[in-house]
Amino acid sequence: QVQLVESGGGLVQSGGSLRLSCAASGNIFGSDVMGWYRQPTGNARELLAQIDSGAGTYYDSSVKGRFTISRDNAKNTVSLQMYSLRPEDTAVYYCNVWRRDSGVNINYWGQGTQVTVSS
């Protein structure tokens, strides 16, 4: 099992910045992919960014160039630095760990942290 705890959400004005952090504990594997998703009210959860243990990254086009994901393998943490925030970035942000085990996709989720961007 993996436990994830997010921190760093809050209220920010349009154009501002926030940094989200996630601490992972439990049975973390070096091959795990860590990432961030968000879920606006009334909408589906969407993938924003992922990072593997070798620091390879993926960004959704909606955040590429504004958000930066980083990972500390020694501390089992993943962060999301968000710049140039917009009202449409308002959502609950979730930390995620993904792994594939015996052909099965396994996902672990944090409890979520609210990010609200005012116009």
**In this predicted structure, what is the pLDDT of residue 84?**
98
Q: What is the pLDDT at residue 54?
A: 87
pLDDT at residue 30 greater than cutoff 90 = no
Nearest in space to 115 (alpha carbons), one of 23, 59, 48, 32: 48
Who's near 12: CB < 8 A, 6+ residues apart? 18, 85, 115, 116, 117, 118
pLDDT in tens, 103-114: 999 999 999 999
- Written as one string, the DSSP assignment of 32-87 is -EEEEEEE-TTS--EEEEEE-TT--EEE-TTTBTTEEEEEETTTTEEEEEE-S--G
